[in-house]
Amino acid sequence: MYQEISKNIRVAFYIRVSTEEQWKDGFWPDMQMQWLQEMIIYRGKVNGWTHDKKHEYLDLGCTGADLNRPEFKRMMIDAKEGKFDMIAVWKIDRLSRNLSHLLSTFETLQNHKVGFFSLKENIDFTWPIGKLTFQIFGALAEFERETIKTRTKEWKMTSARLGNYVLNKTPYGYKKEDLEKKRNRSLEVIDTESVWVKRIYEEFIWGKSLEQIAKILNESKVQKS
């Protein structure tokens, strides 16, 4: 049974072909467009899907390995601005061949309440099973982020045990050793700044507030080297 038509669902088309595919595999943009147009006619009758040509995004001669594609980026901006309700592709790898990129894209669409439909795989995130799939993709994206955070934390802890300074910001009074150095990269004292580090410590020990210490530094025109 088809879902009841409650409103028109504005559907955008995304089409991508790489140079090699255009000549060797026959995934021509007009073929993808024809399949999507036939789909929208059928879905328009049973699901209320509509399409406007101004929401056609074509990346021609673009690889699917990254998201640095002009029409893809324009489409995602329009998606965030609510210019359509769904993105339709002929095949899911037209959107991306990279799982991480797919997960991040799906999460962005979900956050902005934009659906996704792939004709070849018959993936429709507007149906109950599709919404569940959408949520699973979101959970996978969250899992991947947490995994990356854990690995980064473990790497920093291991590197710190080897004597490396692993924080991004360098504290006042110090500088990082040779950036070409891969191991045992620690901090070096900057003599001209170390004087003021000692002064700050002394003022704090003698009961000065942070505001008072800041005033002393400003009046002395202390700057970071």
Radius of gyration over alpha carbons of the chain, in Å? 27
Q: What is the pLDDT of residue 71?
A: 96
Q: What is the pLDDT of residue 182?
A: 54
pTM of the complete model: 0.59
Average pLDDT value for residue range 10-25: 77
Over the stretch 68-104, which tens digit does the pLDDT of each residue have? Answer: 999 999 999 999 999 999 999 998 888 888 877 888 8
Over the stretch 107-156, which tens digit does the pLDDT of each residue have? Answer: 899 889 999 999 988 888 877 776 677 667 666 666 666 777 787 777 77
Over the stretch 159-178, which tens digit does the pLDDT of each residue have? Answer: 777 777 777 778 877 777 66
Residue 5 banded pLDDT, cuts 50, 70, 90: very low
Q: What is the pLDDT of residue 2?
A: 38
Q: What is the mean pLDDT of the chain?
A: 81
Compute the distance between CA of residue 51 and CA of residue 34 in angstroms, rounded to an integer: 13
Over the stretch 51-60, which tens digit does the pLDDT of each residue have? Answer: 999 999 999 8
Q: What is the pLDDT of residue 156?
A: 75
Q: What is the pLDDT of residue 4?
A: 45
